[in-house]
Amino acid sequence: MRATRRFWGVVLLAALLAGLAVLLERPVLLAGTASLAAWLLAGQYRFFARLAAAEGTTAVDQTLSRERVATGESTAYSLSVSRPDPSPLALSVEAGVPLAATADGESRSIDLDPGQREARLGLTLSWPVAGRFSCSPASVVATDPAGLLVETLSLGSTPSIDVEPRRPRNVHVGEGGEVVSAAFGEHESGRSGTGFDPAELRKYVAGDAASRIDWKATARLAEPYVREYESETERRTALLIDHRAALGEGPSGETKLDYLGHVALAFVGSARQLSDPIGCFAIGEEGLTARHPPAATDESYARIRGTLQDLQPTGGNAGASGNGTAQSGGADTLSGAVEARRNPAAARHMADRLTDDDAFDTTLLPYFRATESYVRRISGDPLFGALRRDIANLNGPVWTVILTDDTRPERLREAVTVARRGDNRVLVFLAPTVLFEPGGLADLEAAYDRYVEFEEFRRSLARNPGVSAFEVAPGDRLDAVLASGRRRREQRRAGRA
């Protein structure tokens, strides 16, 4: 128990009486000292007895409405305090809200006056930081009715919550709703020759080196035989990732670019595991924003990973369209401004209004200009331009991986045609716009029709020799659209029957 100023005031009074008793040699004043000291001791005992009773009978309950949220989402928090009997102790109960949470209200505590039996507190908590958080026990401050003593107890349940970062979840990579196996990993060249893994035995033909004759097989078969081995090769991969404004579509942290970036990072990881050379070309609104020619060094893998992780949609109104809140709230509102401050792409969009006339704007402009620096500006379609100039100039066969969306189908078709020249193979990963648009699934039937259009486009790309095309989308949204299509087909069948 902690003594309050009042307690120490009475102690001082008792000491004063004792001092006077000594000074004046009047022992009767010591009776006053003894009375006051006894009063304080009795008060301590009474407070302790009440506190022990309160600890056993006071029920403090903390609850969170959800156990799992994404960053930026909110949950309802409630704190209820009840005691069976009206106690003379005054209680002030402070909610054990984790530090990572932001509460909407200013007050995080409730008070139970002497005699009051129960009280409740409701808060809306938002979770800006990812992680697992637990509420600490509520801090119950009990105060003696006389205001002499205070004690703090920790009581109550400690619910936990998992706050998950906003990132692509349930990433679907496939064709027409069917998941395909990984397109990356160990790879055979499809040719035989020298290597390590035995492939086949064949008869010796003139021109084969004598060192390649398998003497055991030759002795066994009474004819010279040569053992062929599976020839392995390193695969040079060039990633072309589109991060133009349209790629910013989707909820924050789950945009088309986030999903495509996820796939691109998987390619980098696989290349690193197999020590394959990999390069990366980032396509912005006006040209190349990053250019890393294929290389197989740790530094290059790290550089490419960093580039992919830092990519944000460039130019346009990507931020506003990419974030439901900013779009609905409008950039002119306070909430829009706050959202813009939180989202780099949206901040750039807001920065479009900056002019050279104002000193404040003049100070800010260079920072925003710096974020959209281009390695090389390209007139015309930047994806097409990058393929024609940067990928075509690479020596030897290259596996070209294009990660983009379906907003410019004709331009993409031309780009793929350029990419598959020679022996080059092309992989196209497409994010269907219909599965990322805010409210895109409001009308599932319309969404299914748009998905069918997308699928036809994807198939038309995949029909080109040496070209594979896949869709990259949130699996749950795609399932919802496909389920709608199935329902429609069943209804039609039932109608015919």
Partner 1 sequence: MSETPPPRDFDVRGLPWLGLATLALAGAGFVLLADLRGAIAAVVLGVAWYALPAPYAVAVGHLLLVALLPPESGIEAIQVVGLVPVEAGLLGLLATAAPRIDAPARFAVALVVATAVLVGVAALGFLAGGVPGAAAALAVVAGVLGYGLHRYERLRLGLIEAPPSDSRIESGSDTATGPETDPTIES
User: Which residues of this protein are in contact with partner 1, per CB under 8 A?
Assistant: 1, 6, 10, 13-22, 24-46, 48-52, 55, 87-88, 90, 107, 110-116, 119-122, 143, 145-148, 151, 153
- Residue 126 beta carbon to partner 1: minimum distance, rounded to whole angstroms: 19
Task: Kindly tell me which of 56 and 366 has the beta carbon lying closer to partner 1.
Answer: 56
Q: 119 forms bridges with which residues in the sheet? A: 81
CB of 103 to partner 1, least distance (A): 13
Which residue, 16 or 480, is less far from partner 1 as judged by CB? 16
Provide, rounded to whole angstroms, the least separation between the CB of residue 139 and partner 1.
Answer: 12
Nearer to partner 1, 18 or 100 (CB): 18
Question: What's the CA angle centered on 413, arms 409 and 414, to 5 degrees?
Answer: 120
CB of 294 to partner 1, least distance (A): 40
Instruction: State which residue, 65 or 78, has the beta carbon closest to partner 1.
Output: 78
CB of 162 to partner 1, least distance (A): 28
Q: Least separation, in Å, of the C-beta of 76 and partner 1?
A: 14
Residue closer to partner 1 by CB (options 30, 375) is 30
Closer residue to partner 1 in complex, CB, 105/185:
105
- Smallest gap from Cβ 6 to partner 1, in A, equals 6
Cβ-based neighbours of 372, under 8 Å, separated by 6 or more: 284, 289, 314, 315, 348
Cβ 51 to partner 1 shortest distance, Å:
7
Spatial contact of 149 and 2, defined as CB atoms under 8 Å apart:
yes
Return the closest-CA partner of residue 80 out of 46, 123, 114, 44.
123
Cβ nearer to partner 1, comparing 150 with 217:
150
Identity of the residue, 153 or 402, whose beta carbon is nearer to partner 1 in the bound complex: 153
